[in-house]
Structure 1
Amino acid sequence: MKEILEQFGIEPNDIDLYYQAFTHQTFANEHRYNLTYQRLEFVGDALIDAAVGVYLFTKHKKMDEGDMTLLRAKVVNKESFAKLSRRLNLGQLLRVGNGANDLKDNDSILADLFESFTAAIYLDQGREVFQAFLDATVFEEIRKNVSSELKDPKTLLQEFLQTESREAIQYQTHKDGAHFYAKVKHDGHYFGSGKGISKKEAEQNAAKSALKILKGAE
């Protein structure tokens, strides 16, 4: 426990919070211990979700709510948290009952541990240390993903097709009722179509469709 706390410069005020964060139900049952990581995991889930939302809002002012939602979903999930737990070796700190050591490598439990550990940091150390911990973990994952996520589908399609041809991409767009409809044309061929409530949205959706078709043909 000491090593992981020192890694983030944490001097615990309440060490029991951290032990609780790594206590599985099997250990609690054997030792008549009343507290497990589950309550802290509940708190951590809410804290991380809110913190990531604020981070995206303040750091990426041009990102709309749809893109923020997609990027948050890519980073705030069981798979991502399990990977972070493995990177920090949190599974080795999990207290389990006899014969339950395999739980230390269970993805779902590892994801829960990341959330419970995060909650313990917040409750024990406060917002500043909590933010620093997220900056080194979850926010770092956002920074790794954000460059590709921020590229709109039309830009991604252009980059994809530039490797094959210098022919310009054409978008044929028309309005029908309340919606716009667009088709992607390149080098004499149609690759995708889309609709939207604006011309821009229709063309972006058409580009997404074209990317799926072209990448599926690779």
Structure 2
Amino acid sequence: MIDKTDSKGKILPEMILICQNLVNNLQHPNEYIRGVTIRFLCRLNETEIIVPLIPSILANLEHRHPYIRRNAILAVMAIYKLPQGEQLLVDAPEMIEKVLSTEADQSAKRNAFLMLFTCAQDRAVNYLLTHVDRVSEWGELLQMVVLELIRKVCRANKGEKGKYIKIIISLLSVPSAAVIYECAGTLVSLSFAPTAIKAAANTYCQLLLSQSDNNVKLIGEELWVWDYLI
């Protein structure tokens, strides 16, 4: 491991130079260079290098190009998950929640919701329940994270299931076959009630009729299982 500080704990000159180069890249007029640099920072865990870069990373949350914003959100999440991350970015959940409420790009919106789901679950749940009537209009990637959140919340607290059934039912009519498939699985994971199993079985049947790829075989196997349970 390369030393980044001297015997007195001060950052070495070469590390300062590296940090300055990274700052320059984070402010580079070329969006690709910015994006690649931000993605690289998602894999770093050296706080000595990361701390000087935080202001530039946060500035990229408001960049005009969605590619930059998407990666900046992931970088904020990666920093916040570090051992001292909550001290480095105290306001990160609140900041990302604001981004989520204003973001138009679906991939960036998905990343923001994922950050809250991972680092501030209560905020993710609150956002979901506040916008429950619009979930079916969200993009496929975000809807998949929503279903993952629902499964996690309901596994931890089975009494919460009733709040989320409406969301799952609303997603059964979206265009995405992947989301519909996940909805059916989520539905039966929450309840073995005959109505839930029937709704899941009907969903699998419709997927069998409308899809022709190899995943249909898997759907058919699951349908057989639920038909047996019924």
TM-score scaled to structure 1, two decimals? 0.23
Larger radius of gyration: 1
Which structure dedicates a bigger proportion of its chain to strand? 1
| TM-score normalized with structure 2 length | 0.22
